[in-house]
Amino acid sequence: MGLEVGNIIIEDVSFGRQTRLEGRCLIVDPTALGDFLCRRDARLRKVDLFWAKKGESTRILCVKDVIEPRCKVSGDTTGEGRIHILKKVAVITCGKIIGYQEGIIDMSGPGALYTPFSQTMNLVLEIEVKKDLPPRQHEEAAREAGLAAAAYIADTGRAVEPDTLDTFADLESPAVSPELPRTAYLYLLLSQGLLHDTYVFGEDAKRKSPCIIAPRLLMDGAIVSGNCVSACDKNTTYHHQNNPIIAELYRKHGKELNFVGVVLSNESARLAGKNDSAAKAIELIKNLKAQGVVISKEGFGNPDADQMMLTRGLEQAGIKVVSIPGRTAFPNPWPMLPRRPRP
């Protein structure tokens, strides 16, 4: 079986007495949703909800995660069946965890050019937890609240006919010309402890990788972000749900290349862990008989070492590498600003 992805294009959002879709307007009952989140998790003390829309004079501070609302319409297995997505909508979790972290989203002004979420209609959850909750419990409660809220509002689109429907089949079906270059994707995930973690099927990425994984599973929400720091290099759950590299490799599959699969690997904080993960990931790439590899990383600083180790090892094995830096390029707004005289 393949994965069907139905996209429901949301045109407007508002608050109301009942969470529902009216045409392509998403209406959310903030009291009902806040109460639902606090009932499902006793660690939460209060959840306040706000809408933040494109062009508003709004700054969202202490951003923890961003999640795209999705619901499973059919199929019992990740990567199979059908999902419906509320496009142009995002759920954003924010609030204090341990200390004030640096995730910022500006909905207008020069800062808006640096984030794709200035273009989405954002349901912002300001989360407060019970007093003296341990840091790991605090992070987990906030992370799970965002996922639960996204699932809650996504359910409004369960019975709605989507605006577009895409199907992603197994990579082996139909058969691909053997003359096309065998190309793999090496997907590095931050996995360095509290506020620097990523989860694969609900488990720490260090325990689940390196491994070979079907790209359809990743498109169906297999990866969740627990990375709450370094705003300029933070991959949110939304980014993992909408990985552009996987989408582009699928688009070129059978035409310009043979997309043979994805290898997940982790970015350890220790040199021994980096060496071990790199060696295992390279071996898995060899098992896929890949002739070329695209590598993406998350974070900066010591994750650059993971990327360089993998690039060197793969090239030494005769495999061509395209290595993508962690930062996403957005237009630079500063030249548009008037020059200020030096003091």
| Per-position DSSP letters for 191-246, written without gaps between them | -SSTTEEEEETTEEHHHH-SEEE-HHHHHTT-EEEEE-S-GGG---HHHHHT-HHH
CA distance readout (Å), 136 to 59, 161, 264, 280:
27, 40, 24, 29
Report the C-alpha dihedral over residues 265, 220, 28, 228, rounded to 10 degrees.
0
Residue 326 has a pLDDT of 62
315 CB-near residues (< 8 Å, 6+ apart):
321
CA distance readout (Å), 67 to 153, 236, 338:
11, 7, 36
Output the six-digit token pair for 101. Answer: 């972290």
Delimit the domains of the chain by residue range.
3-164, 171-324
Output the six-digit token pair for 305. Answer: 């070492």
Whether the Cβ atoms of residue 220 and residue 78 lie closer than 8 Å to each other: yes
The pLDDT-based confidence of 35 (bands split at 50, 70, 90) is very high
Whether the Cβ atoms of residue 109 and residue 11 lie closer than 8 Å to each other: no
Residue 338 has a pLDDT of 44
33 CB-near residues (< 8 Å, 6+ apart):
19, 47, 49, 149, 152, 153
Q: Is the pLDDT of residue 43 over 90?
A: yes
The pLDDT-based confidence of 232 (bands split at 50, 70, 90) is low
Nearest CA-CA partner of 78 in 168, 165, 147: 168
Q: Is the pLDDT of residue 325 over 90?
A: no
Helix axes 271-287, 303-316, angle to 10 degrees: 40
228 counts as catalytic: yes
CATH code of the domain occupying 171-324: 3.40.50
pTM for the predicted model, two decimal places: 0.91
The most confident of the ranges 24-28, 187-191, 299-303 is 24-28
Average pLDDT for 177-185: 95
Q: Which residue in 71, 211, 228, 232 is the catalytic one?
A: 228
The pLDDT-based confidence of 127 (bands split at 50, 70, 90) is very high
Output the six-digit token pair for 287. Answer: 């098992």
